[in-house]
Every structure is written in structure tokens, then in C-alpha cells.
Structure 1
Amino acid sequence: MGGLVPGVERIAVLRANAIGDFLLSVPALDALRSAYPDAKLTLLGLPWHAGFLEGRPGPVDEVVALPPITGVSTSEGGHPVPGGLCEGLRERAFDLAVQIHGGGRYSNPFVRRLGARVTAGLRTPDADELDRWVPYVDHHHESLRFLEVAALVGGRAGDRAGGLEPRVAVTGRDREELAAAFGAPPPGLVAVHPGARDPRRRWPVERFAAVADRLGRPVVVTGSAAERDLVEGVVAAMHRPAVAVAGTLGLGALAALYERCDLVIGNDTGPRHLAAAVGTPTVAVYWCVNLVSYGPLTRTRHRPLISWTTGCPVCGADGVDPRGERCPHDVSWVRDVPVDDVLEQAGDLLEETRIAEGATRRLRG
């Protein structure tokens, strides 16, 4: 653990990627905010960060949306740092620049060009050093990794209410957007999210449908516009009615919808993190390797079901070595997780919610 940097008035934090990746960094952002309560914290992110975080209570004061930069704000090649960008950011006179973006091969040179008095972050052996750094190693939980970086400059884990799990506030604007696009969610609603960016992390749609049918609850199936086939596939496979919501809700409205649910069931994906961050219990299917880096850190309200498949079901290619070649097959690596196991955890969490709601009603009555 490092000491506080004296005289910090402006902090830049680089974290320019997707919603789940951002949410995993929130405990570290909270730790930085607690360590430097009077400093202005600027997130160097993407345009969606700016829209989602505007007016939302939390540790971030402002967002600078970066253009595509290879290794910094996009994984695509051929996007150098635009001329004048770093010079413009230097004019903000950051006292502290923190890299919680990755191993640092591309991001550390970018952070050093910001001209901050002190830089801190992650580093693989082939990356430039920052003033304070911790090694970036495989198979480490992302939230804990970023908290190690915050600790380099005096940030402490769990200073805020809620501890190690990320929290995100739902705003009145979110709820208004939900009402306009969806209406009033019914009591006892359960959300099912069958999508995941990597098709190998997707539990089969017919198994989501089987769980949703057997819960006997009102069900909404969520997904992006690109996941419409998955969403409609779950609804079509169900014997009970369900509402399909594919690409019609922004992130804020989706957060408000999950806030109104008694449970969210899904894969290892950003919406699972979003549901947990707004305080909703979750059940999710995880591939064993991804659970280490992206799984929930607590089990009271979040239950991961784990697939122990370590090789491609088609060709047997090893999936554990992060330096190995990815085989071309996109079949599910998590289909071995049984329906009954997911149903058992879902029922357990719903029963706990029912008991807690009953106790609350008795106290109010």
C-alpha cells in the first residue's frame, strides 16, 4: 500500500471499455474518491460513459470520451493517438493519473503523456513503468486488481457503504425512461438475460426457458438489439407468457428495470453486473476461468453456477492458458450446468426475498 499523494486537486482515471468492465472498477473509483474527497475525478472513457454517468451520483465528476485509440479505447488496430489530444488533456493539469485499464503496453505510454505529477497503474513485463505500479498477472479478480492500484496512492478498499461489490445509483431519469419504454413492471418480476458477447459463455436458450417456466413468476427477457434472436428464442421456448425486450432500453432504463425485479438470471455479462450494482439478487452461469476474474465476490445475494469445462467441446482445444490460440468453434462451453442447479439457487434467493419483504411489511404495519 502506498501513501497519499499530497496536494491532489485533479485525478484522471483511464478505464475505457464496456459496462461490466466499468462496474468492476467502481470499488476502486470509490476508494480514490474516499482518499481524495475534494479532488475532481475525471474518467477517461467512452461516449456511453458520458451519457450513463451524467447526473448520476457516484465517484466520477466528469467524463472525457476518448476517440478510438488502439489499446486504449479500442482493440482494433490502426488507431493512433490523435494529434493534440494529449496536449489538450495536459492543460487540465492532472495531479494524479491512474491506469486501471489493462497491462499497460499501450495505455501506460498514453497515461505518461498526460503530464500528471504522479502516475499509478498496472504493468506487464513488456509495458512501460509508471511512478507506482503493481504487476498485471493472469487469473486475478478485476475488482481486487484495481483496488491494489488504488492502494498505491492511498485508496482503501471498502471505505464506502457496500464494501467490495460495486454499487450504482438509479436516478429519476432512469425510471422515467423505463416508464416511457416499458410501462410499470409487475410485482414479483424476474428478468432473464440469455446473451453474452462471447458465444462460448452462453447457456442454451432452452435451458433459460425451462428455468423461467418453472419459477411461475412474471418474466421479462432482456437483451441488446444484436441479441434479439436469443431473446425471442427464450420466449418461443417457454410455455408461459413472457415479455421480450431487445434493444429498446438504454442502460439507465435497464438499470431501473432490474431495480424492480426480484431476481435476474443470466450469463457472465455486463447486465448481470448492472443488476447486482442496483441491488438485485442474481443467478448466473459462469465458465470456471472467468469466474476467477469476473464473478461476484459475495454469495448472500449472488449465486454463480460453474461450468468446469476446460477444453473446446468440439476439438478439445485448451481454454485455460490465456496465451493459447483460440479455436474457431463458438459452441457453448457452459451447457453442462444443469437446469435444476440454476433453479435451486433461483428459488433460494426468491424465497429469501419473500421472507425479507414480509418482515418489512410487518415492521411498517
Structure 2
Amino acid sequence: MNRIALFLPNWVGDVVMATPAIRAVRAAYPAAELLAVCKPYVADVVAGAPWFRDVIRFDKSGPRDQRFWAVARRLRSERIDAALLFPNSFRAALLARLGGCGRVVGFSRYGRGFLLSPPKLDATTERGRFVPTPIIDDYNRLAVALGSADPGHRMELFTTPADEATADAVWKQFGLGRYGRVALLNPGAAFGAAKFWPGDSFAALARMLVQRTGAGVLVLCGPAERELARRIAETSRSPHVYSLADNPLSLGLTKAVVRRSDLLVTTDSGPRHFAAAFDRPVVTIFGPTHLEWTETYFPKAVNLRLKVPCGPCQQRVCHLDHRCMTGITPDAVFAAAAGLLGRFPLPLSAEVRRAA
């Protein structure tokens, strides 16, 4: 094959979980050109990666050159030999077909089976219902169907020089190089408010990390979470807790600061997978979502989940008392974090880079 289009997932964390499969396709077809087709907001997840010749942005409501028919024409002009569809949408399969892709590999869901090429993969079901299984394994099945070897579970990301320069500026701004350890807190989640752990709990955890481990703490955020990050830093009442609330934000910056950190404590959101991709220890606080969907087999991860009668509900907003998240205490999260810090100190090479 000369040219392969990889239709990337639509969620930041899912793109990271697709990286073993992407890497395996690259290895299976070293002479082929790979093109990524993705939503604009996930493009920076794979920025700096050596796998793709180009990234084609697809946004049905975006600029004219990113809409369906423009992207279909672009794909047709590229003469794509095969398309691998990580998203399960009918639209993705239709776009691949109308884009002239010779072979279309994906899961047979949402009535799109007739648009796919053999073998048509079925998702795991039990009595006609989908059973929560690790997405990373499903993505790997797609790569194998296209002809790759077993991709394994090692996720991988890259940063750009611009990302690293921005992270260097943050390290200098807050004086983070003077701390023996730097812990990151990520309180947000694009999925919805049901995934949020209380801000006061994050603030209490930040105080514990400072007082008991001597760490500097940096609170991450997305554009919609600036006030939350600012409030966590202020509520911690510690001069050693900082936030990115007043900084220019980007996925590239988040990747670069995660890469040089000692630890990440996060909700079940995209940056959780950044930590695994950069081999950094991570504590993830789960609430309404199935852990089984996003299990990545990362050995430096601790996943905290409180079993409650109403969960996991998969709801974006809790209509009860949010007990699945409020019942997880700062003490429990600190114990998990301290255990990881003791077991997985930052390597010397990363220490030097971090202090730059």
C-alpha cells in the first residue's frame, strides 16, 4: 500500500489510546504515506509525531475546506489505498467511501457495515448489548485487521520545540525547578460535571503534597476551567501551589508539563493518558464512567473508584448527590499519590530537562 488514511478518534484521551495501533500500522507499512483525518481540536495530540505525512482536519461546521465534501475531494485526490476508522460513526465510513479509499477497515456499527471491507469487525456484545471492554484493545484489533502485528499497549506521544519552550517559560515563571518534585493536578473533564472531583478536595490534596512531600504543585486547566484552577490554588493557602489559570493554554503545553512532572493526579480525562504516554505516574479519580472502557494496562497508574449502587451511570451530570466522587477523600488520593512517588522517582535525565 502506498497511502493509508487513519481516521482518528474524536476524544483527546481516545487519540492517545489509539497510538499503539497507529505505531503498529506505521511499522507494518514503512514505505506507505500515512494521513491523519481528525477533528481540529484533537490534532495537537499527535503534533510532533513522526508517523504522518499530513493531518487533514475534518469539521462539519468548520471552515469550508474542512467540511465533508471538501475533505472527501481531498481524500480522493490523495488516492488512498486503505482507511482505518477508529470512530464508529456512519459519517466516518461514508466519508472514507466517498473519498475513494480502496479498503475501509472499521467496526460494523450504526448500520454502516455495507460501507466496510472484509473482515467486518463486531464489537464485544452480551445478549445484544455492548459490554465495557478496553478501547485500546478494540483499536488494536483494527490495526491487526489492516495487517499489522499485535500493537501492544505502550502509548506514546511527542512534543514540539514550541511546546517545550512554553513549558520552560512556565517552569521559570513559577520557579518549579527549585522543587525536588513537581506534582500536577488536573481537575477538569470535557465529558461533563459528573466527572469532577470537588475543588476543595483538590485544594486539600495540594496542601498535603506540599507539606508531606515537599513538592511544588501546578494545577492544570482547559479554557473552561480557569476559574476552577485559580480557586484550587487560592483555597490551598500555600505559596507552593500554582495554576495555569492566567497563562495561554494549549494541548501542547499540557503535554510538555506532564512529560517533565513527577506525578499527575487527575479526573478521568485526556491528560490521564498523557501521563501514561510519557511514562509518568498517574492517579485517576473515577466517578460516573466505566473504568473498563479506558483500561490501558499502564503499570504506573492507580485508579480510584468508589463503588456505589447508582454507578457507574455514564451520565454527564449527576442528578443525585455525586456520592461516587465526593466519597473519595483527599487522604485516600494522597496515599495513592505518595505510594507512586516512592515507587517511581523521576529518572536523572528527566530531572535535568525539567530544571531547564
Q: Quick one: distance in 1 between partners of 2:316 and 2:259?
A: 37
Report what 2:150 is aligned to. Answer: 157
| Partners of 1:157 and 1:164 within 8 A in 2 | no
SS in structure 2 of the partner of residue 42 of structure 1: strand
2:54 matches 1:66: no
d(CA) in 2 for partners of 1:125 and 1:176? 44
TM-score, scaled to structure 2: 0.83
Structure 2 residues not aligned, in runs of 5+: 125-129
Out of 11, 18, 27, the position equivalent to 2:11 is 18
1:23-62 counterparts in 2 under 5 A? 23-51=16-44, 53-54=46-47, 56-62=48-54
Gap runs ≥5 in structure 1: 1-7, 74-79, 313-317
Match of 2:335? 344
Q: 1:331 to 1:167 in 2, by over 3 A?
A: farther
Structure 2 partner of 1:260: 260
Distance 1:156 1:334 in 2: 39
Which residue pairs with 1:292 in the alignment? 292
- Tell me the residue number matched to 1:144: 137
Q: Determine which of 180, 189, 201 is the counterpart of 1:196.
A: 189
Change (3 A) 1:330 1:109: farther
Give the distance between the partners of 1:175 and 1:330, measured in 2 at CA. 42
TM-score (norm 1): 0.81
Task: Choose the corresponding residue for 2:319, options 313, 316, 329.
Answer: 329
- 2:79–2:101 Cα contact (<8 Å) kept: yes
Q: Does 1:307 align with 2:306?
A: yes
Distance in structure 1 (CA, Å) of the matches to 2:39 and 2:78 = 18
Give the C-alpha shift of residue 182 in structure 1: 5.0
Q: Distance in 2 between matches of 1:27 and 1:169?
A: 13
Amino acid paired to 1:239? R
Further displaced range: 81-90 or 335-344:
81-90
Give the drift of 1:52.
5.3
Q: CA deviation at 1:310?
A: 4.9
Distance in 1, matches of 2:59 and 2:346, equals 49
- Verify the 8 A CA contact 2:193 2:317 in the aligned structure 1: no
Would you say the 8 A contact 2:44–2:252 is kept in 1?
Answer: no
Superposition deviation, residue 340 in structure 1: 2.4
Query: Given that residues 11 and 42 in structure 1 are in contact (C-alpha distance below 8 angstroms), is that contact kept between their aligned partners in structure 2?
Result: yes
Task: Kindly state the Cα deviation for residue 155 of structure 1 after the two structures are TM-superposed.
Answer: 1.6
The equivalent position to 2:121 in structure 1, one of 134, 148, 157, is 134
Letter matched to residue 344 of structure 1 = A
Q: CA deviation at 1:136?
A: 3.1
Letter in 2 for 1:219: V
**2:46–2:157 contact (8 Å) kept in structure 1:** no
Residues 96 and 267 from structure 1, CA distance in 2 versus in 1: closer, same or farther, beyond 3 angstroms?
A: same
Q: Does 1:91 align with 2:77?
A: yes
Q: 1:221 to 1:125 in 2, by over 3 A?
A: closer
Task: Report the CA distance shift for 1:128/1:353 in structure 2 as closer, same or farther (over 3 A).
Answer: closer
Q: Distance in 2 between matches of 1:136 and 1:175?
A: 39
In structure 1, what residue type is equivalent to 2:155? P
Code of the aligned partner of 2:302: R
Cα–Cα, structure 1 residues 354 and 177, in superposed 2: closer, same or farther, change >3 Å? closer
CA RMSD of aligned residues (A): 2.8
The 1-side partners of 2:285 and 2:44 are apart by 29
1:36-78 deviation digits (Å, cap 9, x = unpaired): 1111110101234445545x13322310011326xxx9xxxxx
CA gap of 1:115–1:63, structure 2 versus 1, over 3 A, is same
User: SS at 1:122's partner residue?
Assistant: coil
- Alpha carbons of structure 1 residues 125 and 85: separation in structure 2 relative to 1, 3 Å: closer
Three-state SS of the structure 2 residue aligned to 1:227 is: helix
Cα deviation 1:78-123 (Å, max 9, x = unaligned) = xx96445413311211111111112x33322222222222111112
Secondary structure of 1:233's aligned partner: helix
